[in-house]
Amino acid sequence: MNTLRIGLVSISDRASSGVYQDKGIPALIAWLERTLTTPFQIETRLIPDEQSIIEQTLCELVDEMACHLVLTTGGTGPARRDVTPDATLAIADRVMPGFGEQMRQISLHFVPTAILSRQVGVIRKQALILNLPGQPKSIQETLEGVKDENGKALVPGIFASVPYCVQLLEGPYIETDPQVVAAFRPKSAIRETKS
């Protein structure tokens, strides 16, 4: 059985040097535990905003740790030290522009400064790598999308497409709790689950 392996990378000069506590990784772990019904293993890294270190970390998680999905948090704005997208693109085999477009689309429902985000989604070997925002609230909004008062998705979150993307990359079959985010895949790609 091919266990789903997820790399979580929090990119912050201040959190990595201990000035304040990292909130990105705990928020991502809590969200994944609430959302995924498929068993998974997590590899975490807390690193500074240094392009070479970000590149090395992403390569290690994909090439050596064989992660199927890598989620980064932080370092996606226009400030000089925000180099996460640059590092992600530098190690990518292919760019998946729809993820960045959708992340900004979702965030624009909450803040006008969403257009300042440079978040990208890429593929390296067997892995999908996604740059998420730095704030836990924004991370959740990006993953789950814009919902109405009854919890129905008005604008789909990016995670709805992640399970099928990982499946197309020959990774494990990922299932989610539809109450949090319903994974979308074409009928031909849906597998019957053993209950």
% of the chain beyond a pLDDT of 70: 98
Residue 194 has pLDDT above 90, yes or no: no
Q: What does the alpha-carbon distance between residue 179 and residue 182 come to, in Å, rounded to a whole number?
A: 7
- CA torsion 88→91→92→98, rounded to 10°? 10
Residue predicted with more confidence, 152 or 163 = 163
Q: What does the alpha-carbon distance between residue 20 and residue 13 come to, in Å, rounded to a whole number?
A: 10
Using DSSP's 3-state secondary structure scheme, residue 130 falls into: strand
Residue 183 has pLDDT above 80, yes or no: yes
Q: What does the alpha-carbon distance between residue 76 and residue 67 come to, in Å, rounded to a whole number?
A: 22
* Residue given tokens 């593929």 in the structure block: 123
Q: What is the mean pLDDT of the chain?
A: 95
Range of the domain at 110: 4-189
Tell me if 126 is assigned to some domain. yes
Domains identified in the chain, total number: 1
Tell me if 137 is assigned to some domain. yes
Taking residues 162-182, what's their average pLDDT?
A: 95
Q: What are phi and psi of 176, to 5 degrees?
A: -125, 165
Q: What are phi and psi of 178, to 5 degrees?
A: -60, -20
Tell me if 115 is assigned to some domain. yes
Q: At 131, which CATH number? A: 3.40.980.10
Residue 195 has pLDDT above 60, yes or no: no
**Structure pTM?**
0.95
At 45-67, the pLDDT tens digits run 999 999 999 999 999 999 999 99
Q: In this predicted structure, which of 17-21, 38-42, 69-73 has the lowest mean pLDDT?
A: 17-21
Tell me if 195 is assigned to some domain. no
Using DSSP's 3-state secondary structure scheme, residue 159 falls into: helix
Tell me if 179 is assigned to some domain. yes
Q: Model confidence at 165, in pLDDT bands (50, 70, 90)?
A: very high
- For residue 5, the tally of other CB atoms under 10 A from its CB is 21
Tell me if 154 is assigned to some domain. yes
Tell me if 194 is assigned to some domain. no
Residue 6 has pLDDT above 80, yes or no: yes
